[in-house]
Amino acid sequence: MKSCCVNVAVAANVWHAMVIRQYEKHIWLRRVSHEECVGRARKANADHAAEPSEIAALYQEMEDEALAAFKKIGVDKSLVSFRRTIDMRYIGQFHEVEVDVDGGDFGSKSLIQASGAFGAKHDELFTFAMPWKGVELLTLRVKATTPNAPFKLPEIASGGSDASAAKKSNRQCYFGDGFVDVQVYDGSKLLADNEIPGPAIIEETTTTVVVPENYDCLVNANKNYVLTRKGEN
């Protein structure tokens, strides 16, 4: 390992900028024939055949619900993107495979596209597909996503290369060849550009970083500890 970067808690609060909402409609529809976009209902447990217009209405309902929810938190609908999926299986199977469905008006072609995507994914996952076989549609799903809000990692002030202001204590530590005297630093007092020669220990509230004997540590502007092997700078 030439160098590594230890990222500590200072930047953790910025990772929630992207918002995903997921909606589901549980259905049980059958599409018996792949040639016809609307299959006939088998005189079966299924309520009725898969009508593209019904599916379109369910997707629309979920997307409207998502937009209303985003509106409440001040996200404009132009920022929201949707991913539609259907959980499908061959008639008789016990388990479904989730496949992507094209956006826009859901129609006969969408059902053919989804069936094709299902067969392809079944083949990819399980090494075979059964294109002659009818399918069941069990769950319609919409994932509504906003893009990441623009953000910048917070920066800390520079303190120059001298890290002595953060010195906390000394400790005897075992480093393979025996015990050595090690400088311990208070992580909360370290500033950007501080340099810490190994061996050293940096104590944070939530973690402890060990700088081995053959590494040096540099604190960067985002409060990352960048460890580099001695002599490779």
Residues that bind other proteins (CB under 8 A): 42-45, 90-95, 122, 125-128, 130, 133
Q: How far is the CB of 129 from other proteins (least distance, A)?
A: 9
Q: How far apart are CB 123 and other proteins at their closest, in Å?
A: 10
Residue 96: name the closest of 159, 138, 141, 53 by CA: 138
Measured from the CB atom, the residue of 15 and 132 that comes closer to other proteins is: 132
Nearer to other proteins, 34 or 167 (CB): 34
Owner of token pair 């460890």? 227
At closest approach, how far in Å is the CB of 120 from other proteins?
15
What sections of 11-107 are H helices per DSSP? 52-72
Closest to other proteins by CB, 128 or 174: 128
The strand pair at 208-211 and 135-145 is best described as: unpaired
For 8-120, list the strands marked E by DSSP: 20-31, 81-90, 97-101
- Least Å distance between CB 137 and other proteins? 16
User: The tokens 């299902």 sit on which residue?
Assistant: 118
* Token pair listed for 185: 């630093």
Residue of 93, 92, 89 lying closest to 122 (CA atoms): 89
Nearest by Cα to 221 from 185, 194, 184, 196: 194
Residue closer to other proteins by CB (options 15, 128) is: 128
The minimum distance between CB 132 and other proteins, in angstroms, equals: 10
Of 55 and 97, which has the nearer Cβ to other proteins? 97
Distance CA 202, CA 207 (A): 9
